[in-house]
Structure 1
């Protein structure tokens, strides 16, 4: 696994895109602070850049680097959830501008997955994680369902077969600083 992390980190630091197994589905990733790399993901997915992407971080300490105010409810959700859960936070900071939604929010997940954890830790920052599909097409349930144009559009495909991938996107919850909680995707 460390060899794959080393190769992926090398690509991320050079502004490249990786295809990698996450705690949910196969994802396309890049350094979340690199605006050009984020732009490449939008182009590859043929997705409007007004639709925000998800980031992965290692823990709540790294989360604080990218969110000005973390609601107490978020830490509670992170602690008690047993399913991959992405939280949308207000007041994103220190990320690529084209990654942050128009309202200033950002979607971030702390994955319970060794590869994703080590990837983010070694990068020392957030990693973009968006499903490995062209916008409008179904999320691939396995590696073999990933479209050829996605495979060709990334700079590195992580060679790590996973039994733990749950094949379903994460739950998404929006937590506003005003205390409003909204479930976006179950």
Structure 2
């Protein structure tokens, strides 16, 4: 795992894209503070740049570094969630502008996966995590289902867990600063 982390860090620090296993599905990732790298993901996925992407952070401390004011209820939701849960927060800070949705929000997940957590901690920045498919296509359930165009379009493919079937995409909850909560995806 150590070599895979080092290989990813080399690519990410140069503004490159990685394809990696997450706690949910295979993801395309980049440094969430690098707007040019984020743009490469939109182009690779043929995705409208008005549609936002999810970021991963290593822990609550990092979450607080990139969201102006994390609502208290977020910690309870994440602490007691029985499955991977992404929360959309208001007022993100210090991330690439093209990651922030038109309503000034950003979707962030704290993964439970050791590889992801270690990679993010060593990168010391959030990592973009979007499913490894062309926009509008089905999310691949395993590594072998990933479109060759995606495999060829990234700068590095992590050589871990390729035989493992992917999990389901995370639940998504939108938390507004006014206290309102909306379930986007169960």
Identify the TM-score tier after normalising by the shorter chain.
Answer: over 0.9
Equivalent in the alignment of 2:99: 99
**What is the rounded CA distance, in whole Å, between the counterparts of 1:164 and 1:104 in structure 2?**
36
Kindly indicate whether the alpha-carbon contact (under 8 Å) linking 1:87 and 1:108 is maintained by their aligned counterparts in 2.
yes
Structure 1 stretches of 4+ moved >2 Å: 162-167
Q: Is 2:16–2:30's contact at 8 Å kept on the other side of the alignment?
A: yes
CA distance in 2, matches of 1:165, 1:55: 22
CA distance in 2, matches of 1:123, 1:85: 22
In the TM superposition, residue 117 of structure 1 has moved relative to its aligned partner by: 0.1
User: What displacement does 1:101 show?
Assistant: 0.4
* Unmatched runs of 5 consecutive residues or more in structure 1: none
If the length of structure 2 is used for normalisation, what is the TM-score? 0.98
Task: Please give the root-mean-square deviation of Cα atoms over the aligned residues, in Å.
Answer: 1.1
C-alpha distance in 2, partners of 1:149/1:133? Answer: 9
Question: Contact 1:21/1:165 (CA < 8 Å) preserved in 2?
Answer: no
Match status 1:129 vs 2:129: yes
Aligned length: 186
Structure 2 CA distance, aligned partners of 1:144 and 1:162? 8
Residue 166 of structure 1: CA displacement? 4.5
> Aligned residue for 2:44?
44
Partner of residue 155, structure 1: 155
Q: CA deviation at 1:58?
A: 0.6
* Counterpart-to-counterpart distance in 1, 2:160 and 2:9: 15
SS of the aligned residue for 1:111 comes to: coil
Distance (whole Å) between structure 2 residues aligned to residue 162 and residue 137 of structure 1: 20
TM-score, normalising length: structure 1 = 0.98
Shift of 1:161: 1.4
